[in-house]
Structure 1
Amino acid sequence: MLLLLVRRDFFVAHLESGEQAALVLQARYQQYYGVHLNGRRIGYVMEDFRPVDKGGFHIRQQAALKLKVINTVQPVNMELNAELDSAMRLQSFQFTFASLFYSTKAEGKTEGNTVHFSLQTGQTVIKDSITLPDKPLLPLNQRAYLLAKMPKEGDKLKVPFFDPFSLSQRESVITYKGRDKELIGGRVYNLHEFTETYSGMNTSFWLDEEGKIIKEKSPMGFVFEAEPKFKAMDVIDSGDELLAAVAVKYSGPLLPENSRSAAYRLQFPKEAEVELNGGRQQFADGKLLISQETFPPSTAVGEQDAACAEEKYLRPSRYVQANDAKILAQAKEIVGKELDQAKQVKLLTDWVYKNLEKRPVIGLPDAVTTLASRIGDCNEHAALFAALSRSLGIPTAIAAGVTLQKNAFYYHAWNEVCLDGQWVSLDTTVKQLPADLYHIRFTRADVEGQIAIGGLLGKLEIEILPLQK
């Protein structure tokens, strides 16, 4: 989730190709941005754009960050190289990403509106394609086309785009907010303010009269400011603990020990894409009720109940490779001759908990890579467990939401399995089966779908309600 918040949005399709090409400066330019968190520079972003002799353009974007996550300073480096035709349409791209415990390389080409790509993780190669509503374009930090297309305050523009890091399609809405005076580097600028909204998350950016981005602010408080190269690359330190920025304070009393149910009052934006009902959760009128499940000692032999035997909870996905030979072999080794699915789940839970070193990993977790590295946080635990469990024919979901740690709720991922037609939660990071009542699920989705809860960042309020006697 951290990477989805700090990454830049690269591929976008929202204008006629000729419109953007006509409004982009034809000469080569290079621009640097300092990345700030709570007033301290923690990294930089560079964009280099140039025409090429054969016609068309080449774009190179680099980002280097230092992030402090759970008292560990993690360097993050990203680079994009892309070839564009004369109308600014994407022809091909190469994208690399590296953090302390994770690295990937993606490359792809376009055919019409479809982007075909491959992703190399060091342990596996994932091949896929995405079809967009229009031919993919590249949004540069020179965005004069927005000033031309959106002259009046309140004007809106829908933006479907392709993100080379998550390799997924999103749709956002850009809104022109009008003129705004911003203090940047000790100087007051009279700029054009815009907001970009996707999956409930709001990013603000400011353009000068030439349409160049001067400042950008992400939902988590990262601020990008146009700066000279020597200044932007003068990275001071990693800044404050990053997870503190997404902690959700709560009100109300803690649950009594041995509680079998919990009640919460939740407040969040109406546009947030959440899935609060289902399984042990019931949500209505802002009030969430959670009932503690009882994990079955055994399961009946036979077909799964149709209520939770949806194909998506059984099939492999891009990052949950339940059909990979190494995943299936490991799952069979863990469960041995045990055929009872409830007992298989217990064996898998215990194995994942014991065999993964618990370290924060910045990246998109895939099960095959996690199986090889044996390192990960809650996301890697949840993805690996889901792959192992699905490989044995057990319907398994990845739950994403929040859980209580000390004095606040933090974003977290865990699993749910369907046994005897009932969903049961479990958390392999802390070895809870079922998960405790402080686990509040906001969505069920594999890794590529979890950006939906980003709309809750900085906007979620939680009140623990006293239990009714």
Structure 2
Amino acid sequence: MTRIVKIAVLTVWLLLLLGLARRDFFIARLDSGEQTAVLQAAKYQQYYGVHLNGKRIGWVMEDVRPSSSGFSIRQQAALKLKVLQTVQPVNMDLSAELDSGMRLKTFQFTFSSAFYSTKAEGRTEGKKVFFALNTGRTVIKDAVTLPDTPFLPLNQRGYLLAKMTRKGDRVKHAFIEPMTLTPHESVITYNGRNKELIGGRVYNLHEFTETYSGMKTRFWMDDKGKIIKEESPAGFVYEAEAKFKAMDIQDSGDELLAAVAVQYSGSLLPEGSKTAAYRLRFPPEAQVELNGGRQQFAEGKLRISRDVFPPALPASPDAACAEKKYLKPSRYVQADDPKIVAKAKEIVGTTTDPAQQVRLLTDWVYEHIEKRPVIGLPDALTTLDSRLGDCNEHAALFAALSRSLGLPTAIAAGVTMQRNAFYYHAWNEVCLGGQWVSVDTTTRQLPADLYHIRFTRADVEGQIAIGGLLGKLEIEILPPQ
């Protein structure tokens, strides 16, 4: 559940959210069956307090019980998050049935926040997970395939101690994320024993690092395999606590968006600049896509050239424009849905010029979607129906409308300048005449200004990679050259 909480929080400002493949090639794969010996007689209930900057803003509960065919799992979480000076409650509930080897059989998951709610249920058949996701406005049915039979990551993980005995030992395992319903594979590294101060008490614990999708978390475990503390990339800290203490939510915490804002060095760009240059520093394991379109990255420096709209015919078209994925519908960008297709045709009318179609779509999304921070997974159909959302909902809906007209469109995720700092943001890039043009429908920028720095192009379920930058990104604005 701690991982579910992290993903849900990421969606506030981005969606939250691959050199590892070569680096991890020789790591032993973790067999989920190895949990059986440790958890065969498992029966426990554990509470965790969720802290942000020293304030308890929520709690997580995990209950594990043996059943006639294996194990029954119940995980719940409640948070209070301050977003744009408003407090939003977030509640999650996960129930799952596992076999005797802790392999996932079925699950039901519910999520609710101020302006969003969803229910999901699914089952596994071998390495495949079939599911249905109900947003209250549409039902999304899909299936995902993992490299191994999935199991749920629990907070009782004594099987790691049996597998990893020396500092530097590493294992990997596959899992499915109940919030995003996307498969992942993580790598866990054992860092040895360390003393850690938790709740005013010094513990001698086993320390681990877990990496997936470019993100790193740290957790500390006692000799019985119980996780005592975990730290997430977004600055959240989870500590094992008594029920009465964990559920005593003190505060909604600091403003969430401000907590992950990226301060910059250097001077602002001169008025009317056509290019910008930045020096970027971020973790080497972060999964970023900085080159392409108007961006050129080399040796830690990024150059951005302002788009021209409508663009002139390029001498050499951008090869990425021809990638079919930017025309295809996806789980949350339902470009082939009749409602999306009909709305796109209604917006552009008889206009056949692609550049003019992009302008009409940009104006419509900006004018008809109410600007509200939505904690949840943005999908185009729900946004079209609800007519509210933040940058994620704007970008998902625009991508669906644009793709339905045959215009290759990507969702760009990165940062942009607001209130004298860089904040995580999502916008779009549309391919016109073989050239990418940036579009920000949240702020009605066509093209987007030079402060929009893209770190990845991906539909909603792929944007979690941006989480690897949280708290670790440094930006320096270089003088004009």
TM score, norm. by length of structure 1: 0.95
| Mapping of residues 20-99 of structure 1, within 5 Å | 20-24=35-39, 26-52=41-67, 54-99=68-113
- Work out which of the residue numbers 241, 260, 268 in structure 2 matches 1:246: 260
Instruction: Give unpaired runs (5+ residues) of structure 2.
Output: 11-27
Distance 1:305 1:176, change over 3 A: closer
Match of 2:322 in 1: 309
After the TM superposition, which segments of 4 or more aligned residues of structure 1 sit over 3 Å from their partners?
A: 297-300, 304-307
d(CA) in 2 for partners of 1:402 and 1:276? 12
d(CA) in 2 for partners of 1:37 and 1:213? 18
> How far 1:55 sits from its partner (Å)?
2.5
Q: Helix, strand or coil for the counterpart of 1:248?
A: coil
Match of 2:13 in 1: none
Distance 1:6 1:152, change over 3 A: farther
Q: Helix, strand or coil for the counterpart of 2:355?
A: helix
Which 10-residue stretch deviates more, 394-403 or 290-299? Answer: 290-299
d(CA) in 2 for partners of 1:307 and 1:203? 33
> How far 1:432 sits from its partner (Å)?
0.4
Match of 1:362 in 2: 375
* Total equivalences in the alignment: 459
Match of 2:18 in 1: none
> How far 1:27 sits from its partner (Å)?
4.1
Match of 2:23 in 1: none
Amino acid at match of 1:84: L
d(CA) in 2 for partners of 1:306 and 1:275? 14
Q: CA RMSD in A?
A: 1.9
d(CA) in 2 for partners of 1:364 and 1:3? 13
Amino acid at match of 1:394: L
Aligned residues: percent identity?
76
1:211 lines up with 2:225 in the alignment: yes
1:442 lines up with 2:455 in the alignment: yes
Match of 2:24 in 1: none
- Work out which of the residue numbers 131, 154, 171 in structure 1 matches 2:168: 154
> How far 1:453 sits from its partner (Å)?
1.5
- Work out which of the residue numbers 439, 455, 461 in structure 1 matches 2:468: 455
1:285 lines up with 2:299 in the alignment: yes
d(CA) in 2 for partners of 1:79 and 1:226? 19
Match of 1:139 in 2: 153
Q: Helix, strand or coil for the counterpart of 1:167?
A: coil
Amino acid at match of 1:44: W
1:4 lines up with 2:17 in the alignment: no
Which 10-residue stretch deviates more, 307-316 or 14-23? Answer: 14-23
d(CA) in 2 for partners of 1:42 and 1:2? 12
| Mapping of residues 335-374 of structure 1, within 5 Å | 335-374=348-387
Q: Deviations over 1:349-391 (max 9, x none)?
A: 0000011110111111000000011111100000000000001
1:265 lines up with 2:282 in the alignment: no
Distance 1:273 1:221, change over 3 A: same
Match of 2:141 in 1: 127
Q: Is 2:6–2:232's contact at 8 Å kept on the other side of the alignment?
A: no
- Work out which of the residue numbers 192, 216, 235 in structure 2 matches 1:202: 216
Distance 1:298 1:393, change over 3 A: farther
Distance 1:289 1:2, change over 3 A: farther
Distance 1:297 1:244, change over 3 A: closer
TM score, norm. by length of structure 2: 0.92
Q: Which has the higher contact order (CA 8 A, sep 6+)?
A: 2
> How far 1:18 sits from its partner (Å)?
3.2
Q: Helix, strand or coil for the counterpart of 1:136?
A: coil
Match of 1:103 in 2: 117
| Mapping of residues 317-466 of structure 1, within 5 Å | 317-466=330-479
d(CA) in 2 for partners of 1:298 and 1:354? 28
Distance 1:437 1:407, change over 3 A: same
> How far 1:461 sits from its partner (Å)?
0.9
Instruction: Give unpaired runs (5+ residues) of structure 1.
Output: 8-12
